[in-house]
Structure 1
Amino acid sequence: MSEYIIGIDVGSSKICAAAGKLDKYGRLQIMGITSANCNGVKKSIVVDIDSTSESIKQCIDGLERMIDIKITEAYISLPGGISELVWNKGVVAVASEDREIKANDVKRVIKASKIITIPSDKEIIGVIPQQYVIDGYDKIKDPIGMSGLRLEVDAQIILSQSTVVNNLFKSVDKAGIKVAGVVFQPIAISEVALKREEIERGVVLLDVGAESINIYMFEGGNLAGISTIALGGNTITNDIAVCLKLPFSEAEKLKIKYGSVGVDSNNNDFKIEVNADYNEKISVGCNTLKQVIEARVEELLYIISGELKASEHYEKISGVVIVGGGLALIKGIEDFSREVLQKPVRVGTPEYIGAASPLYSAAVGAVKDASDSMKDRNFIAKKEKETEKVQREWTREKNKKEKEEEKNNGGFITKIKEFFTDFF
């Protein structure tokens, strides 16, 4: 289990799980990925622990068969929609005598940034350092190894409702999986679906799920804002079911297999045979299905556009990236969204073999974030060991040199004493 990193994304319609490990060059490889249907989560909140834990267990069982190991712990992706960002600053004095900033100083300053007043029903689940400041010099990303007297951090504190997080943890624990850590979803997805240039320039990440749309705004290399719309892909499926008088499950299959929007070069109005209630089959026109889907997708996009335009970051947005299964899997969504949002749009997918689907962005992102943290910890530990080794060698050489000087000086003084003794 030690060589594998497991990430789990608990969504409103699906549980996705990914397994990855680092190769000998330190690069992440995704070794397995799977999903299972889930009915115990509504709008990113667990409403049925038993049902959710059963779905997690089913998903993990499938992943275990793929990678042929027993999974006992995993990193959980926590949706941004159930979280709140609060800005705060931490300040500490550098502890070492030589004024070199070490990993422990960074830990202390991050801990200091957590000292804020929070409501009784919420808890701190993480900290995102935005920049470090050393003796007044800002925009420092990694202060370890640098010299200074005073270390500050400007950080975003992630708050979430205690009951919501506890119910999620209980669901995972009941499935027989230990929570190894929590990964903040917008950061996790950005690592596998966004380009560094996009994050620096300004980009919107649309995570469209079954029952909610999470809008994450990035600017200047950092997460700048979060907003949530309580609508998602299920509203499209529900429209198909109502308009065409189909069961919800059949409407979902139709949407996934034949769903499209915008101008289609192969505009053939062929008939699709679908199972209706009571084992009765009906024919559905492809154009009719497309009209139903287009009407709802257009409405969702206009709601998203209104949310973006109301934001202070709208003018700095260079593009929009769509992930999740609510909109990203619909054919023609990029061009159709571009017309409504008036911004460049693309579908974000993880660039890993076997995981190149917008559905798996959060699960793969959780694995990536956890693996990066492990590499950072190993690098810091290695760096500190090397520094200690150099310090020991330097101290040894210094002591040796001092002893030699004492010995030489001692011999010289003895000769002087003997000279004066003989003289007098």
Structure 2
Amino acid sequence: MEQGKYSVGLDIGTTKIVAIIGKENEYGKIEILGIGKSKSLGVHRGVVNNITQTIQSIQQAVEQAESNSGLKIGSVVVGIAGQHIRSLQHSDYITRDDSEQVINEDDVDKLCNQVYKLIMLPGEEIIHVLPQEYKIDGQAEIKEPMGMYGARLEANFHVVVGQVSSIKNVGRCIKSAGLDLGSITLEPLASANAVLSQEEKEAGVALIDIGGGTTDLAIFKDGIIRHTAVIPFGGNVITEDIKEGCSIIEKQAELLKIKFGSAWPGENKENEIVSIPGLRGREPKEITLKNLSKIIHARVVEIVEQVYVEIKNYGHDEQKKKLIAGIVLTGGGSQLKHLKQLVEYITGMDTRIGYPNEHLAGDSDEEIASPLYATAVGLLMNALKTKAKNEAIGAEEEELQNQLPENEMNDDTAEAETAVVKPEIQRDRKSIFDKWSDKLKDFLDNAE
């Protein structure tokens, strides 16, 4: 099968790297053609801290996906997360020269580009500018300003900021692993695409993606992303606490957490004990499950409370900003027993576990429908969407070329007409992240 028929999502996480190959079937669902998974060795809290190890882990995952599917991976869509990601709210405006003309895409672009000129901390760069509501001549709550009249165009923006070096390091790893960087997507947004329904985004929902090294938060209301945050704690700190608290090795701590772990200490009786083999002939260790869940509970409460602070920062307490659909938990950490009940208890909000199976074809492997793969599935969806967009642009351009009457037009006129038409099509579909990815690709090419 040629590369044009399928797309690839690459999730570079703290504990695992997942490469997932898929295509869209005739019903608009995603058919998974192959999946590769490897242990992530060079990533700490979502940030690459060892380039060589990360490249090896990426290559391992990619090779596994290729041998599973019998396909060759060329270009990938990769997710970006990590503790360096932060977001802020910003308002900006432009005064239009001619209020007799309707507001067009140039005006909206000019307003968005103005936000990019915000002064950031050294080493930081704006990677996402998401317009929320617009105001025209003081008239508020406008969702789509194009086609309207007005002299002053104003907007509230959700601005996502990240460290340039961290993002370039991810790009360098992809390139060194022999892959092309298709585009970059913010991981909380990818997970949200995979597990949230449009109704939830409209009603107001907080997506909490508990990964190995970080916990990502994305808040939606009225179908628009309102707030994003990355909290530098995830499943790994829980494992670390078990390791320290029970004086056992990491591998055993991880197994204990998965098999017997619970976020609710009241569940376990005092006499429930698990025995762990001692190292090199030492006596086995006996650990009470009550003690284990107390250790887990303490750390999970800390993570959930930090997330809840972010939800309050967004303004959940205000009637107008209330998140009616509550909370959706996803990511590997969301599989911890009784976590849903604990989150409901702490926040008082309705909670469910988010599975990415809604968008998958019926015959997909059950394992892929696990919350563990939410980000990878979201990245694959993004890759397929981008591909469909590019195909639509190509088809539209071709159609325009065909419509130009060759006999009535000399070459110069034809060129002038296409030059006028093309940018319109392109600009209509080029997202801010695509532009940013292009910039990153140029940087990597020049850095050789």
Q: TM bucket by the smaller chain? A: 0.7 to 0.9
2:362 aligned with 1:330: no
- The alpha-carbon distance between structure 1 residues 92 and 60, as it changes in their structure 2 partners (threshold 3 A), is farther
2:374 aligned with 1:361: yes
Aligned to 1:165: 167
Matches within 5 A, 1:99-114: 112=113
Aligned to 2:417: none
CA distance in 2, matches of 1:254, 1:162: 38
CA distance in 1, matches of 2:390, 2:111: 15
Aligned to 2:384: 371
Aligned to 2:427: none
State the Cα deviation string for residues 187-217 of structure 1 (Å, max 9, x = none). Answer: 2111111111111121111122223222222
Aligned to 1:54: 56
Aligned to 2:356: 350
State the Cα deviation string for residues 193-249 of structure 1 (Å, max 9, x = none). Answer: 111111112111112222322222222211111233332212211221122221011
CA distance in 2, matches of 1:99, 1:303: 45
Aligned to 2:246: 244
State the Cα deviation string for residues 170-199 of structure 1 (Å, max 9, x = none). Answer: 222222222111112222111111111111
SS in 1 for 2:369: coil
Matches within 5 A, 1:122-141: 122-130=124-132, 139-140=142-143
Deviates more, 1:182-191 or 1:126-135: 126-135
SS in 2 for 1:125: strand
The one-letter code of the counterpart of 2:292 is L
SS in 2 for 1:217: strand
CA distance in 2, matches of 1:138, 1:307: 24
Structure 2: gaps (5+ residues): 410-448
CA distance in 2, matches of 1:237, 1:75: 30
The one-letter code of the counterpart of 2:351 is V
2:290 aligned with 1:284: no
- The alpha-carbon distance between structure 1 residues 234 and 381, as it changes in their structure 2 partners (threshold 3 A), is same
Contact 1:80–1:184 at 8 Å: present in 2 too? no
CA distance in 1, matches of 2:387, 2:286: 54
Aligned to 2:300: 297
The one-letter code of the counterpart of 2:384 is S
SS in 2 for 1:82: coil
CA distance in 1, matches of 2:140, 2:337: 49
Deviates more, 1:24-33 or 1:189-198: 24-33
The one-letter code of the counterpart of 2:294 is Q
- The alpha-carbon distance between structure 1 residues 188 and 115, as it changes in their structure 2 partners (threshold 3 A), is same
**Percentage of matched positions with identical amino acids:** 27
TM-score of the two chains, using structure 1 as the length reference: 0.77
- The alpha-carbon distance between structure 1 residues 148 and 366, as it changes in their structure 2 partners (threshold 3 A), is farther
State the Cα deviation string for residues 101-156 of structure 1 (Å, max 9, x = none). Answer: 78xx699558745652344523343443546789989745596xx79899979554
Matches within 5 A, 1:14-413: 14-79=16-81, 81-85=83-87, 87=90, 112=113, 115-119=116-120, 121-130=123-132, 139-140=142-143, 154=155, 156-262=158-264, 270-278=272-280, 280=282, 281-315=284-318, 316-318=322-324, 319-326=326-333, 328-351=334-357, 352=360, 353-354=364-365, 355-382=368-395
Structure 1: gaps (5+ residues): 397-424
CA distance in 2, matches of 1:209, 1:368: 19
Indicate the RMSD between aligned Cα atoms, in angstroms: 3.8
CA distance in 2, matches of 1:372, 1:285: 49
Alignment coverage as a number of residue pairs: 387
TM-score of the two chains, using structure 2 as the length reference: 0.73
* Structure with the greater alpha carbon radius of gyration: 1
Aligned to 2:434: none
CA distance in 2, matches of 1:138, 1:342: 29
